[in-house]
Structure 1
Amino acid sequence: MLVFHSDAHSLALPPGHRFPQDKYRMLRAALEADPGLIRLQAADAASEGELALVHSPSYLDAVLQGHLSAAQQREIGFPWSPSMVERSRRSVGATIMAARAALAEGLAANLAGGTHHAQEDKGSGYCVFNDVAVAARLMQAEWHRRYGHSRPGLKVLVIDLDVHQGNGTATIFSGDNSVFTFSMHGENNFPFRKAASDLDVELPDGCGDEAYLAALDRALAQVWQRLEPPTGLAFYLAGADPHEGDRLGRLKLTTAGLRERDRRVFEALRERRIPVALSMAGGYGHDVAVTVALQVSTLREAAHSWSAWQAPQ
């Protein structure tokens, strides 16, 4: 299974900053030490034209040229620097490459991504550009260039299981019948003003494995009922932050519960032959090594599903 990384460029963060940027390097190192079925590849940077499929010219100029105001930088949560721009562009590029690989092989992943709070004209919550939205728009455009009117347009499903609602993605695709957005998240967590996804499931603080998995099963059943076939590509944001050890999550999933969450999502998509591009999304454990282990587990489940996808039908 192809897995794309983009951790070569560091953020210029002040001491004590809550964003765990070391996680990405540690995650790649863990996979390099024991790759199994995973093939690691460095990501290319998304081009300005690709980013412009979603983001406004004024916002792109502010980010790329270093014109973000102090207020804009505070909302993003990162100080501007050239390395912040390059890191953000390569994180989007990794999701683009994962989406192309998923369409070819059934499943691929980005070791970062899931920057679902970014909207057309602003960043927010550690999200500069919306990687899933850009990749979805680009895959739809490439599909149209390849098939024209000989096939229906590419329909996209977003399954967002980060503990925080995907408000930016929901806003970008609001009213767009070609993209179905599903977010299951903590009702009392950031963002405190939620947007409207096509399907939102809000969970109470302290929600554990049994209640979470039951809610996921009900929600996926609704997705399959409401989704207009054929759906040609899914994006799965597999946040580690619903875990009981997360500093920001407020939910209580165990390690086994998160693994079962991932297994159910991958199995449901594989049964329907829907290719999926995986993004690791959030994870803010008190011990970053625990978060890395959780995300390695997600990638192992993904690789197992990729292997099953390759089996003759």
Structure 2
Amino acid sequence: MHHGDVLLVPPAATIEQLRLAHQSDYIHRVLHGELTPQEIKRIGFPWSEKMVERSRRSSGATLAAAREALADGLAVNLAGGTHHAMYDAGEGFCVFNDSAVAVKTLLHEERICRAVVVDCDVHQGNGTSQIFANDPRVFTFSIHGEKNFPLRKFPSSLDMDLPDGTSDEVYLEQLNRGLEICFQRGPYDLMIYLAGADPFEGDRLGRLKLTKIGLAKRDRLVLLSARQRGIPVAIAMAGGYANHLQDIVDIHANTIAIASELAKQSGTPL
């Protein structure tokens, strides 16, 4: 972060906000510790009150970032990107879908009319695509590893499946093509950008071969493309599983630094 950037503690998403994106019965079972062993296994970590608190605050943070983005053009949630959480189930370390909660809430409040979710996590955003499958107000774009989790992918508005070992150059070419298609389907009042660190060449689960420089170019491409079209952007960090923790920190820090730089060029702090 740079001087002038503002760091805020977000509120937890309310039950009413969660219900806009998730089944009431599923929310109740999460909040009250009534998930079945099979559901807990599917999520990937045990239930606890702290897990509930973190999941609610993660969704609240993306919603808060989206509100800030609508006001100032760009904002970042230092967590979020829980794109495997579906309408009635959690999956892949995702309990509530923060992108869906944020977008559904702002649509409900009539703060926005249309939104685009650009998901650059290495895993396909199956939960996000499922939640918005029948909502023409939201365009979902996922660029991800073809052979990676989830094996059964729920179709997004636009999916770009990349083979194992995809390099910076090929990735950026495909991303640019995908963004052009996204914007052709616009206009949009908001973009949610999932800036996953897991396409990195040193990621244990990623299977792609992007460098830190390539990932920085990815971030700049997405953010500049949105800014050129006047689309506010809320960023969520999404996944990262590198062997060396510092690599994950570096990649996420680069995302924030680029966002901060672009925000200052626009005359507003991040």
| Interval containing the TM-score (normalised by the shorter chain) | over 0.9
Report the AA paired with residue 243 of structure 1: F
Partner of 1:217: 176
Structure 1's consecutive aligned runs of 4 or more residues displaced over 4 angstroms after TM superposition are none
CA distance in 1, matches of 2:127, 2:26: 14
Residue 296, structure 1, aligned to residue 263, structure 2: no
Residue 205, structure 1, aligned to residue 172, structure 2: no
CA distance in 2, matches of 1:307, 1:189: 37
Residue 72, structure 1, aligned to residue 39, structure 2: yes
Match of 1:39, SS state, is coil
Q: Which among 193, 204, 213 is matched to residue 236 of structure 1? A: 193
Give 5+ residue unaligned stretches, structure 2: none
Deviations 1:108-134 (A, max 9, x none): 010010000000100000000000001
Match of 1:67, SS state, is coil
Contact preservation (8 Å) 1:37, 1:303: no
CA distance in 2, matches of 1:51, 1:223: 26
Partner of 1:21: none
CA distance in 2, matches of 1:56, 1:88: 15
Contact preservation (8 Å) 1:105, 1:310: no
Q: Percent same amino acid at aligned positions?
A: 52
Partner of 1:192: 151
Match of 2:110, SS state, is helix
Residue 154, structure 1, aligned to residue 113, structure 2: yes
Match of 2:246, SS state, is helix
Report the AA paired with residue 123 of structure 1: G
CA distance in 2, matches of 1:79, 1:122: 15
Normalising to structure 2: TM-score of the pair?
0.97
Partner of 2:28: 61
CA distance in 1, matches of 2:3, 2:163: 37
Match of 1:307, SS state, is helix
Partner of 1:128: 95
CA distance in 1, matches of 2:80, 2:164: 25
Match of 2:8, SS state, is strand
Deviation at 1:90, TM superposition (A): 0.5
Deviation at 1:245, TM superposition (A): 0.8
Instruction: State how 1:1-313 maps to structure 2 within 5 Å.
Output: 31=1, 35-143=2-110, 154-225=113-184, 227-229=185-187, 231-310=188-267
Report the AA paired with residue 283 of structure 1: G
Contact preservation (8 Å) 1:119, 1:130: yes
C-alpha distance 191-37 of structure 1, shift in aligned 2 (>3 A):
farther
CA distance in 2, matches of 1:110, 1:237: 10
Alpha-carbon RMSD across the aligned residues, in angstroms, is 1.1
Match of 1:68, SS state, is coil
Deviation at 1:57, TM superposition (A): 1.1
Deviation at 1:37, TM superposition (A): 4.4
Deviations 1:136-187 (A, max 9, x none): 011112226xxxxxxxx51000000000000000010012110000000000
Normalising to structure 1: TM-score of the pair?
0.84
Deviation at 1:308, TM superposition (A): 2.3
Report the AA paired with residue 66 of structure 2: A
Deviations 1:46-85 (A, max 9, x none): 1111101111111011100000111100000010000000
Give 5+ residue unaligned stretches, structure 1: 1-30, 145-152
Match of 1:42, SS state, is coil
CA distance in 1, matches of 2:4, 2:224: 18
CA distance in 1, matches of 2:42, 2:3: 39
Deviations 1:222-276 (A, max 9, x none): 1122x132x1000000000000011110000001000000001100000000000
